[in-house]
Structure formats: C-alpha cells, structure tokens
Amino acid sequence: MKVFKQVLILLLCGLLVQFSAQAESFELPGQSSDQAPAPQSSQESAPKQTPQQVQQLVAPIALYPDALVAQILAASTYPTQIVEAERWMQGHSHLKGDDLAKQVDKQDWDPSVKAMAQFPSVLENMDKNLSWTSSLGEAYVSQPQDVTDAVQTLREDARKEGHLNSNEQEKVTTQGNTIVIEPATPEVVYVPAYDPWLVYGAPIVAYPGWYAEPGIFWGGVGLSFGIGFGIGFFGGFGWGWGHWGYDWHGGRGSFDHHAWESHSRDFGHGGFHHGDFGHGGFAHGGDHGGGFHGSSGFHGGSGSHGGSNFHAQSGTHSGGFGGFNHGGDARGFSARGHSSVGGGGFHGGGGHGGGGHH
C-alpha cells in the first residue's frame, strides 16, 4: 500500500510537470509580442502622387504671381480655416479697406489664411472646391518639391503655347530654368482667369467635381485679367503681400524670407481628419445643406458647374476631402462682391487671348 502511494505521487508529479510545460508553451507567443506593431507612417497611408496628379492639382494656380502661389499653397494646408474665413467674409461683407484688414488681423487664423482675405475670389474658389484645396495642401505637405516642379513645368508649357508673357498686369521673367511671375505694379495684384485644363497645350484631366468659379475660370483662349486687387491696406500687417515669396530652388514658399512650414492639425495620420467637420457646424445659411459628409467618393461635379467650356471628366481622385458632398450645385454665389479689398480700390484689366505683350 505504501509503495502504491509513492507510485501515485510520482505519477501525479509527472503529470503536473507536463501540464506546466504545456501551459508555458501556450504563453510564449504572447510573451514574444509584448510590443505592439509599429503604426504605419502617414506617408505610407497617403500614397505618393504621380507627376500627372500633382500637375492636375497645381494647374488652377500655376500661372498666378509667385507670392500668391506661396500663399495659396500654405493656406491649402488649413482647409478648416478656409471654410471659417469664407463664412466670416460673407458675414462681414460690409467691411472695406482698412476696416476689413484690421478685423481680419484679429482672427486666430494662420497668416496664410488671413492673406487670402486680400483676394476674396481666390478664397471663395478654395472654399467651393474644398476637395481640391485639401488635396493640394496634402500634396504640398508631403511632396513640396514635386509641387514646386509641377508649377514650373506647367509655366513652361503655357509659355510655349504663347499664353505666358509680360503685359500690363504682370511681369514674367526667366532666371535660368525658373519662370518668375510678379505684379507689373507692386501696389496692384491681378489674378489671371483661365481654363486650367486647356491653357497648357495638351489637355489636363479636370479635377473631379471641379466648380468653375466665375472670375477664376475663363473659358477663352489664354489668360484674362479682369480686376486688380489693391493691397495697400494690408501692407502694414505681418501677413500682408510683402511677407510672401517663393524659393524655387529650395522647393517651397517663403514667409518673411524663411522656408514656410505648416503647423496645421488638419493633416495627421491617414491624411485629413474627416471628423473635424462632422461637429463643427460649418453649414451656414444652407450652403452645404447639413455640412460635409465623410463618405467615400466625391459626390457632385458630374458635368458643368457654371462657366463656359467646362470640361467634365471620368475617373476618381483620392484626396483629403475626397468624400465630402457638395451636393452637385455647391453653395451658389456669394452675395459678397469682389470690390471690398484694396488700397485705392480695384483696377480694370482686360482679356489677353494669347497672353502676349501689350
């Protein structure tokens, strides 16, 4: 009986040892993966744009004066503030000149967004084409050199087509392989209107859902210059025209002679945070019919949205605001006129079909 108990104890001990070994073998995989997998970088989650895609994004602004290109690219990285600024401008259409500049200066927007108040039609265009704006900003944040190169490539194409030459509104010069565009008169800035999908010669596929903003889009041949924006009232502020430029060799816009860097929180892991608009109540006056909707795909834009000779296209484009629904007819025209900005008011321009010397 005593021997039997000893054998039984030894058997139980053996089973206990075997069970413990099996239990440890089950725990080992968990112990070997204490660290969570490293999260994907934002660059991995946002695929790099091809040269053709980047050219499609910069086509609407590539023929603007250098400083304005710098301002737009910087402001495009703050799409939520673009919406705020456009709504604010609509609600303060009574402000003119110096009064407008002083009130804009009080806002907590990025300097680049404040600078857009100098050019109401440009700001309105960025707001109405918000998907394009955010995609442009995302490309500029992640691929600044590619964006810079695309602007210069398209300027050269337009020059070869005879659409980019000095005239009464702007001065076009070449510095090596770089084409520089500046206002012909420092106090007045003209924003050229043109068809961004045809002006460069070989047609560019229009950005999906592109809204042809009057005063920004012109369906004729070459460039048209309508009104000049007097910038005198804004010159005394730290975000005014004179603080901006473009470092073509450095591959990005400059602010106060330093390379501009975005501090926007709109673009984070995985691109644009679509939830930023979900609860902010940016739909005022029925402009967006309930706000933006972060579903997949871009809704609306199937066909022309005003402006002559608008070129619709097939295909899709993934961008920061690619899922926002503009409802087809976007916001309608702002009640605000484009005569509220300037030192000395606006100056008439005129259309120049070939963009030649005048």
Instruction: Specify if 174 maps to a domain.
Output: yes
Please indicate, yes or no, if residue 41 is contained in any of the structural domains.
Answer: no
The strand pairing partners of 171, in sequence order, are: 182
288 is a domain residue: yes
Least confident piece of the model among 186-190, 201-205, 330-334: 330-334
The pLDDT, as a whole number, for residue 20 is: 54
- CA–CA separation, 253 and 244 (whole Å): 7
Of the ranges 45-54, 229-238, 316-325, the best mean pLDDT one: 45-54
Lowest mean pLDDT among 41-50, 61-70, 74-83, 319-328: 319-328
pLDDT above 60: residue 96 = yes
Instruction: Report CA-CA distances (Å) from 191 to 20, 86, 88, 342, 349.
Output: 78, 18, 22, 14, 10
**pLDDT for residue 352 is more than 90:** no
pLDDT (0 to 100) of residue 86: 97
- Considering the domain boundaries, does residue 3 fall inside one? no
* Domain interval for residue 204: 48-352
3-state DSSP assignment of residue 172: strand
**Which value, in Å, is the radius of gyration of the alpha carbons in the chain?**
28
Residues 331, 288: contact at Cβ < 8 Å?
yes
Among residues of the chain, what percentage have pLDDT more than 70? 61
Q: Render pLDDT for 207-222 as a digit per residue (tens, 0 to 9).
A: 999 999 988 998 888 9
Per the model's pLDDT, the better-predicted residue between 38 and 61 turns out to be 61
In a domain, 358, yes or no: no
Distance of alpha carbon 315 from alpha carbon 296, whole angstroms: 14
User: Is 42 among the domain residues?
Assistant: no
Nearest Cα neighbor of 150 from 117, 182, 179, 181 is 179
What's the confidence (pLDDT) of residue 176? 93
More confident residue, 171 or 292: 171
- Asked whether residue 11 is assigned to any structural domain, the reply reads no
Contact 355, 164 (CB under 8 A): yes
Task: Look at 91-95, 228-232, 274-278 and tell me which has the smallest mean pLDDT.
Answer: 274-278
Per-residue pLDDT tens for 108-130? 999 999 998 889 999 999 999 99
* Residue 252, pLDDT score: 87
> How many domains, in total, are found in the chain?
1
pLDDT in tens, 77-90: 999 999 999 999 99
What is the model's pLDDT at position 3? 53
Higher pLDDT, 232 or 218: 218
- What pLDDT, on a 0 to 100 scale, did the predictor assign at position 91? 95
In a domain, 9, yes or no: no
Which amino acid is located at 192 in the chain?
P
pLDDT at res. 31:
40
**Does residue 331 register a pLDDT over 70?**
no
Burial 240-259 (b: 16+ CB within 10 A, else e): bbebbbbbbeeebbbbeeee
Could you tell me which residue, 135 or 322, shows the higher pLDDT? 135
Q: What is the pLDDT of residue 198?
A: 95
pTM of the full structure:
0.67
pLDDT, position 192: 95
Q: Give the H/E segment covering residue 14.
A: helix 2-31
